[in-house]
Structure 1
Amino acid sequence: MIAETICSAVSAAGLGIAAITAYRRRFLTATRIAAYSLIPIGLVLTGAVAWAVDTAFSPTAWIGFGLLGGSWLLFMTTRAVERRSGIAGRKDRKAAKAAQRDAVAPAASAPSLGGSARPAARPAPRPKASGSGAGDDFSDIEAILKKHGI
């Protein structure tokens, strides 16, 4: 009985705050406050509050919650032991090693920054010889590809 009274008072207070907020012309906020304040009275009218109060003061319900918590604790303990001992992950590690061996360029994903994190300064462009053809262009491309291991 007292839980229903408290929920009704909370709903009434929330609707009062919503009315004041609407008076200040904040209608969206007032609507949201009204929606939140109607939840406790809705729970009272559906009987959910009476069920929750009966459950909260029932020793058998608390024993049931304790058993559920113990079950959850056992599940989490077995998962932690599996992770530490590697029982579940052996197949995954073997598959990862095989995939690494089969990779075309396993180090291609690593950045090639060299000694520092700053990009190196660009070299000065070389003047083109008048008689050079497309061979110089391809040699530059080949040098770049060799540098990246392709």
Structure 2
Amino acid sequence: MIAETICAAVSAAGLGIAAVTAYRKRFLAATRIAAYALVPAGLVMIGAVKWISHMAFSLTSWAGFGVLALAWLLFMTTRTIERRTGGTRKERRAAARAAAERGAGPVEPAASAPSLGPGTRPAAQPRPAAREERAGEDFSDIEAILKKHGI
């Protein structure tokens, strides 16, 4: 009963504001305000306010929200644990089988695995020689440019 009265008062106040806005020759804004003001009245007429107020003051509905929150918390907890342990039990078994087929030992988590396998790195060349060659090439290019311009 109180919720319906409040909605009726809000609608009446909104329509009053819309009338003042229309008096100031702002018809588009007045129409928009009137539309917003009519929403609470419509909700009272279809019974939505009664249903919502009944649900808001019902102990059973709040217990239902609590059960839903607990279910969500359990889902998120299990998902966090799965991420930390390396996936679901099925995913860990498949990874262990794949490692056994390759002849590797127990599977380590992906984060600690090396980014390159053993022996895939090319033979190391002496770094200073490579720098000197690059430097010589760079100067030869510069010399060619300077000769082209007559400098």
Q: Corresponding residue for 1:64?
A: 64
Taking the aligned partners of 2:81 and 2:38, their CA distance within structure 1 comes to: 47
Task: Show CA shifts across 1:68-109 (max 9, x none).
Answer: 111112122222223333316988x97xx9xx99xxxxxxxx
Taking the aligned partners of 1:52 and 1:85, their CA distance within structure 2 comes to: 43
Letter of the 2:37 partner, please give it: S
Taking the aligned partners of 1:74 and 1:25, their CA distance within structure 2 comes to: 57
Task: Show CA shifts across 1:112-134 (max 9, x none).
Answer: xxxxxxxxxxx8x93648xxxxx
TM-score of the superposition, structure 2-length normalised? 0.56
Q: Corresponding residue for 1:82?
A: 82
Larger Rg: 2
Any idea what SS the aligned residue of 2:69 has?
Answer: helix
Task: Show CA shifts across 1:27-86 (max 9, x none).
Answer: 222222111111111110000111111112211111111111111121222222233333
Any idea what SS the aligned residue of 1:77 has?
Answer: helix
Taking the aligned partners of 1:79 and 1:32, their CA distance within structure 2 comes to: 46
Structure 1, unpaired ranges of 5+: 102-122, 130-150
Any idea what SS the aligned residue of 1:68 has?
Answer: helix
Q: Does 1:23 align with 2:23?
A: yes
Percent sequence identity over aligned pairs: 63
Task: After TM superposition, give the deviation of residue 6 of structure 1 in Å.
Answer: 0.4
Runs of 4+, deviation exceeding 4 Å: 88-91
Q: 1:85 to 1:46 in 2, by over 3 A?
A: same
**Larger helix fraction of residues:** 2
Any idea what SS the aligned residue of 2:60 has?
Answer: helix
Q: Corresponding residue for 1:136?
A: none
Q: Corresponding residue for 1:45?
A: 45
